[in-house]
Amino acid sequence: MARKLFCEISPLTYQISTRKMRLIRHSKNFFGRTLFANRHGTPLPVVIYRHKSLIRRKLGQVDMTLQEGKATNLALAAPKVNGILIHPGETFSFWRLVGICTARKGYKMGLLIARGQPDSGIGGGMCQFTNLIHWLVLHSPLVICEHHHHDGVDMFPDYGRVVPFGLGTSIVYNYLDYQFTNPTKSTFQLITHVTGTHLVGELRASEQQPHSYSVKEDESCFVRIHEDFYRQNVVSRRTIDKSTGNTIHTEIIKKSHARVMYELP
């Protein structure tokens, strides 16, 4: 049997480990030289990419009450990101904008993923928000500088999937963040809001960009290894010159080999 980590010994040691990681992040932010985006503005003129994701999804046997809680949580968080301007040289940090999610602020119990298993907690569902932002950023010249993901497991069967498998994000306040930086000479902006059914996002810019981006999935399949099934795919991104329509760069951004945690038909 593998030796337990300190954080796994008891709830108390988990809290101690969490406080330690948060303190390290606060110290890094305070003493670091990163210029974080913190100014909001009216919508910029050029829409780079739009996307929306369904809030209430059927995820295996997960209690739908947690989906209702997630809807509340996303509605509280969206205005804190909406309109944020990412000027040249600035870095977007999800947690610096949204802050810690507590019951006092109105956040509800929602779905969490902890140690590769479904769980619940106050503020659960924020990873859907960073999933949306990540998909928008992949269609732009912005550079991702911090991204964590639930790797190695496929926990739920697809339900209206639009984004390729394997591009999800994993966040925990504040030490697992989602961050990207703006290396261009243009200003970018995120516009976010919720409707009765969807989380909606737009990535905008101060001017037209010379390139567009196409993200696609290949080699998608399920394979059996001994008694277990695994989901595999390869996700790539093409950079396209708008003036000619030619692909000027292709890169693989994710290869998945994830154990399936649900029963396949």
> How much is the pLDDT for 64?
84
> How much is the pLDDT for 192?
98
> How much is the pLDDT for 211?
98
Which residues lie below 8 Å from residue 231, measured CB to CB, with a gap of 6+? 154, 165, 220, 221, 222, 256, 257, 258, 260
* Cβ neighbours of 53 (radius 10 Å): 19
> How much is the pLDDT for 37?
98
d(C-alpha 9, C-alpha 6), whole Å: 6
> How much is the pLDDT for 114?
75
Element counts in the chain: helices (H) and strands (E): 4, 14
Low-confidence ranges of the chain (pLDDT < 50): none
Structural element, H or E, at residue 75: helix 64-81
Q: Please tell me what DSSP assigns to residue 112.
A: E
> How much is the pLDDT for 7?
64
> How much is the pLDDT for 9?
74
Which residues lie below 8 Å from residue 225, measured CB to CB, with a gap of 6+? none
- The pTM of this model reads 0.94
> How much is the pLDDT for 29?
87
d(C-alpha 257, C-alpha 237), whole Å: 19
- Length of the chain measured in residues: 265
Indicate the domain borders of the chain.
Answer: 21-208
